[in-house]
């Protein structure tokens, strides 16, 4: 009888560990770039609605082939305009960065997590509650963004690939001609 209890307890522990590992695997996004993958650890603990949106759009394939339309050297690379930024479908270079998804905008989820190299934040308009699908990855610290933009995660693998994204013109607010793209984006590692 004791052996059965031990076996059951062991099976429950394995099951709990597997469930936890599965849940943790879902808290990552993997972006395939031309130079290799980028793994982002998501932070649902500080921005649950924004993280849910990123995962939802990634699972739908909405981010596949979306341009890095604004890339400012020494600052950040912005992408995620699923309306105008898809380089395989209805790409509009002049409008990229002006669109989002067909889902409603999100209420800000500001936190005390600082914007450092590799931090991923949600792009928005002047309104704090206007984030939708666009996000950016920091090349360098940007403390002036702290508490002003929603942090959704951090690059944990492949930052060297982010560094290779084609840069835009600083004089033109980072607009990129013939931009690089997110080849594919998936939930998990």
With residue 12 as reference, give the H or E element that holds it. Answer: helix 2-25
CA–CA gap between residue 95 and residue 86 (Å, rounded): 11
pTM of the model as a whole = 0.87
Residue 151, SS3 per DSSP: strand
CB 99 within 8 A of CB 125: no
Average pLDDT per block of 10 residues along the chain, 189 residues long:
49 44 68 98 98 98 98 97 94 92 98 98 97 98 98 98 94 92 97
CA–CA gap between residue 137 and residue 188 (Å, rounded): 18
The pLDDT, as a whole number, for residue 2 is: 54
Rounded to 10 degrees, what is the CA torsion of 131, 133, 137, 141?
0
Give whole-number Cα distances, 11 to 1, 17, 159, in Å: 15, 10, 38
CB 20 within 8 A of CB 33: no
């Amino acid at each position: 009888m004791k052996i059965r209890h031990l076996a059951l307890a062991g099976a429950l522990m394995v099951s709990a560990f597997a469930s936890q590992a599965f849940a943790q695997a879902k808290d990552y996004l993997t972006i395939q770039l031309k130079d290799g993958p980028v793994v982002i650890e998501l932070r649902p603990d500080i921005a649950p609605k924004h993280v849910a949106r990123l995962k939802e759009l990634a699972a739908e394939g909405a981010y596949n082939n979306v341009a890095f339309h604004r890339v400012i050297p020494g600052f950040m690379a912005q992408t995620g305009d699923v309306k105008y930024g898809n380089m395989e479908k209805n790409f509009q270079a002049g409008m990229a960065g002006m669109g989002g998804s067909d889902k409603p905008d999100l209420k800000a989820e500001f936190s005390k997590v600082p914007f450092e190299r590799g931090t991923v934040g949600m792009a928005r308009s002047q309104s704090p509650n206007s984030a939708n699908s666009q996000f950016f990855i920091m090349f360098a610290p940007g403390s002036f963004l702290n508490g002003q933009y929603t942090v959704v995660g951090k690059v944990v693998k492949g930052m060297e690939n982010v560094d290779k994204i084609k840069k835009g013109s600083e004089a033109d607010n980072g607009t990129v001609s013939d931009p690089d793209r997110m080849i594919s984006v998936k939930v998990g590692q």
